Every structure is written in structure tokens, then in C-alpha cells.
């Protein structure tokens, strides 16, 4: 998959940052020293951590050089590292924070306990993940990708992003070693001006592996087809806008002392 596009990602920065704010608000720490932002992207979530814990050593990690460059420009005083969450390691972290990053990775039955095990006593693992694979936005990605014009190039669209686990499964994975596990699900309804705006939002994230698999001439054709489907699925509201429903799962688990 090609590198991420920070400019495209930040087109809807306020909407993308809102879940990060709400996740951090539920972190039960008054102070922290070692704070890690896994999958930090362009640094919008890292900036929240720096503000919340000004005395902490905050480190942002990502596997995208382009995203890290944007993050360093935004927060030159913060350390950012190129790394893969699947092999990333830390010792005695006070806060491991992963906003909209872990959904791209398989094997959550081992990944989440591994990350939780890196916490210091009393430390917190805070995770937010889109839970939208059954929404029209993502179902229509798969349906469009199944068209004969590009199915062979994209392959099995269902494998491009693994499904996250049910909420109770995450509870069972983390509860045995936790002082507390807080899990909730929120569905945001983002006001979008047009079907094209919905497609623009999704090009920065969910659509990326679909579009990256196609040569440039076919990318525009794919996106046009997908936009037509989106226009039918998300009807015009009373004020002319469209509402993009976007469910997200939140997990805040604090390790026992």
C-alpha cells in the first residue's frame, strides 16, 4: 500500500480529532511520565496528549514517513519514531494511546494483551477504533470493488481490513489483569455537504487500500462509480446535507497496581 497522505487525512481534522478528545477524557490518570501515541498520524492526537500531560515524555509512532514528517512539523518538540505496532515495544508505560490505528491490524486476541502487558502498574491502555465495516460507506466499497472492471486488481476486498472483535471479547482479554475496563460504542453522525464530500473523507482512510490497488486511469473511474452508490445510500436531509453515520468502539483499561 502506498504511503498515507497527511493533507487528505486532515481535510476533516476536527471530525477525526473529536473521538481522540473523547477517548482521552476517559483516561483516569492525573499525571504520567511515559506516554506513547501509537499510529499518531499527522500529530493531531499527539498534540492532545502533550496538552494533557505537559510534564510527560510523549512519543508518537507511525509506520508512515509522510505522516511522521507532518507530525514533526506540527510538534517539533516531540519525539516521533517510525515503527510497526505489531513489533513495537515499551517498558513500564504510563499511557499507551491508540486512536484509529489498531483496526488496521489483525490478531487482536494477542495484540491487545501484549500492549496491556507493557504498562506500568496503574498504567492505562486507551484505544479507539472505527467499527463501520457494516455501514453503507464500507459495504459499498466492497460491492464496487467486486465489479469485473477492477476485481482482479483489488482482489478479495473483505480481507483489506480485518473485523475488530466484539466489545465483550475485548473485556475478557483485558479484565483479568485490570483494575478497571471501560468499553463503550458511539455512533457519530457527521454532516457532509455532498456525496463527493463523503468520498473525500473516506479517501483519507478506508478507501485507500482499494484505490491504491488500481492504476491511475482506473482510480477515477472507481471513485466515480463509488460516489454514485454513495449518493443513493446517503439521502439528502432537510437542509440539503448528507449524514455520514460513523460508529466507533472505545476501550480504556487500567492495569492493577
Q: Are 116 and 125 in contact (CB under 8 A)?
A: yes
Task: Name the average pLDDT for the chain.
Answer: 94
Sheet holding 57-62, edge to edge: 79-82, 57-62, 34-38, 93-99, 119-130, 242-255, 178-192
Please report whether residue 192 resides in a domain.
yes
Kindly state the percentage of the chain with pLDDT values over 90: 86
Q: Which of 87, 89, 120 is nearest to 105 (CA)?
A: 87
We report the CATH number of the domain holding residue 197 as 3.40.50.150
Residue 151 has pLDDT above 70, yes or no: yes
Determine, yes or no, domain membership for 1: no
- The count of domains in the chain is 1
Lowest-confidence range among 44-58, 154-168, 179-193?
154-168
- Residue 45's nearest CA partner among 101, 116, 93 is 101
Do the Cβ atoms of 51 and 114 come closer than 8 Å? no
Query: Residue 121: phi, psi to the nearest 5?
Result: -55, 130
Taking only the tens place, the pLDDT of each residue in 91-134 is 999 999 999 999 999 999 999 999 999 999 999 999 999 999 99
**Looking at residue 13, what is its pLDDT?**
80
Q: Determine, yes or no, domain membership for 103.
A: yes
- The answer as to whether 12 is a domain residue is yes
143 is in which domain, residue-wise? 6-255
Task: Return the pLDDT at 3.
Answer: 60
pLDDT score of 1 more than 70: no
C-alpha span between 185 and 166 (Å, rounded): 11
**194-213 pLDDT, tens digit each:** 999 999 999 888 899 899 99
Dihedral, CA of residue 194, residue 197, residue 199 and residue 203, to nearest 10: 180
Instruction: Please check whether residue 63 lies inside any domain of the structure.
Output: yes
Question: 223: pLDDT confidence band, cut at 50, 70 and 90?
Answer: very high
Amino acid at each position: 500500500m502506498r504511503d498515507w497522505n497527511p493533507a487528505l487525512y486532515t481535510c476533516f481534522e476536527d471530525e477525526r480529532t473529536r473521538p481522540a478528545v473523547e477517548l482521552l477524557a476517559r483516561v483516569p490518570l492525573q499525571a504520567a511520565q511515559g506516554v506513547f501515541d501509537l499510529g499518531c498520524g499527522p500529530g493531531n492526537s499527539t498534540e492532545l496528549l502533550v496538552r494533557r500531560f505537559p510534564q510527560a515524555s510523549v512519543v508518537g509512532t507511525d509506520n508512515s514517513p509522510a505522516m511522521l514528517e507532518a507530525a514533526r512539523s506540527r510538534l517539533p518538540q516531540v519525539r516521533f519514531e517510525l515503527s510497526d505496532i505489531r513489533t513495537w515495544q515499551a517498558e513500564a508505560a504510563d499511557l499507551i494511546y491508540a486512536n484509529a490505528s489498531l483496526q488496521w491490524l489483525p490478531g487482536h486476541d494477542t495484540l491487545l494483551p501484549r500492549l496491556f502487558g507493557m504498562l506500568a502498574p496503574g498504567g492505562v491502555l486507551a484505544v479507539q477504533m472505527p467499527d463501520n465495516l457494516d455501514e453503507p460507506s464500507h459495504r459499498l466499497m466492497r460491492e464496487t470493488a467486486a465489479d469485473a472492471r477492477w476485481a482482479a486488481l483489488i482482489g478479495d476486498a473483505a480481507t483489506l481490513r480485518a473485523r475488530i472483535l466484539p466489545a465483550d471479547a475485548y473485556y475478557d482479554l483485558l479484565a483479568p489483569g485490570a483494575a478497571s475496563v471501560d468499553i463503550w460504542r458511539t455512533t457519530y453522525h457527521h454532516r457532509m455537504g455532498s456525496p463527493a464530500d463523503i468520498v473525500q473523507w473516506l479517501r483519507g482512510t478506508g478507501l485507500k487500500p482499494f484505490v491504491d490497488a488500481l492504476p491511475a486511469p482506473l482510480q477515477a473511474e472507481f471513485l466515480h462509480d463509488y460516489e454514485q452508490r454513495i449518493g443513493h445510500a446517503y439521502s439528502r436531509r432537510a437542509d440539503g446535507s448528507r449524514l455520514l453515520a460513523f460508529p466507533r468502539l472505545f476501550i480504556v483499561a487500567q492495569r492493577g497496581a
